[in-house]
Copies of this chain bind each other. A is one copy, B any other.
Amino acid sequence: MAIQHKLGGIFSPVLTPFKTDLSPDTQAFVRHCQWLINSEVGLAVFGTNSEANSLSVGERRQLLDALLEAGVPAARLMPGTGCCSLTDTVELTRHATSAGVGGVLMLPPFYYKGVSDEGLFRHFAEVIERVGDSRLRIYLYHIPPVAQVPISLALIERLLKAYPTAIAGIKDSSGDWTNTEAMLRQFQPEGFDVFAGSEVFLLRTLRAGGAGCITATGNVNPAPMVALFKSWQAADADAQQTALDGTRAVFQQYAMIPAMKAAVARYSQHSAWRTVRPPLVEMNTAQEAALFESLDAIGFQMPGL
């Protein structure tokens, strides 16, 4: 019996293009999102790889509005809305939910460290109550290497019990397959959709009944990921996974965000794409040359960009 997922497949935390004055380049953003949609990749805009936490609440709202005005289907959007502040999280979540997005990807409040599950439960509960919209679907965002505030299995259990409709799933960016496996075993059967945080776990996640993956490199290598998602039961699935891993390994030799932006700049012939907001730093010329050489060596392309 096939498992029904509310949302499934490949999503990407969409890179946010900046002009050289560091303001968001709305036009380039819409264009990149349309390319991803055409590649059948869902838009987890405002994720870690989107430099979302380097944007203000107002900038995120404007970029989301621009996508909707450009005709990007709301159902294919899973914007990141989790901020340190309760009030910011509520504002972004309410805005996205009333626009009809497929779901929101929600970081825990991440400034204070060592907080209790009780405190995190109260935070998510307060957000759900304040948003007060039956369409709200929250995908929890577990990324302890960056947020440094984990989402434990016990917290998920408690949230699911209290809000079985609003708590829709998770992105597991722990990089720890044992943890993803535990979530898949414990919560996926209840309809809590587990997304791996990287395509290196895609095949394993799908074989265990998970929903797919939400992955940075979806920005640059979408088609082969979507192909594996569609054919994971085929004989060549492991070979497809190995090919995906090879491409990711090239990008992972560098800081991922500047490297992916350098690639988009190269293949779209739009050099401002290289720009990142501080505290990140764009690739230097030598790094770019080395990256491009490695990409050429594996025959990498971004067709249609």
Contact = CB atoms under 8 A, between A and B. Distances in A.
Interface of A: 22, 48, 53-59, 84-88, 91, 108-113, 115-116, 118-120, 122-123, 126, 145-149, 277-281
Given A86-B22, A110-B111, A113-B148, A279 B119 contact: yes
Contact of A53 (B54, B84, B120, B123): B84
A118 B281 contact: yes
A86 B280 CA distance: 11
A260 to B, nearest CB: 15
Nearest to A125: B278
Given A112-B279, A118-B281, A119-B281, 18 more contacts: A53-B84, A53-B85, A54-B86, A55-B85, A55-B87, A56-B57, A56-B85, A56-B88, A57-B57, A58-B87, A86-B277, A111-B147, A113-B145, A113-B146, A122-B278, A122-B279, A126-B278, A149-B279
29 contacts: A22-B86, A22-B126, A48-B111, A53-B111, A53-B112, A54-B86, A54-B109, A54-B111, A55-B85, A57-B57, A58-B87, A59-B85, A84-B84, A110-B111, A112-B146, A112-B279, A112-B280, A113-B145, A113-B146, A115-B279, A116-B279, A116-B281, A118-B281, A119-B279, A120-B279, A122-B281, A123-B278, A148-B148, A149-B279
A301 to B, nearest CB: 29
Nearest to A276: B119
Q: Which of A54, A91, A111, A113 has the most CB of B within 10 A?
A: A111
Contacts of A149: 279
A118 B56 CA distance: 22
B120 A278 contact: yes
Contact of A111 (B91, B108, B116, B146): B146
Nearest to A87: B56
Nearest to A23: B87
Contacts of A278: 86, 109, 119-120, 122-123, 126
Given A110-B111, A146-B112, A56 B279 contact: no
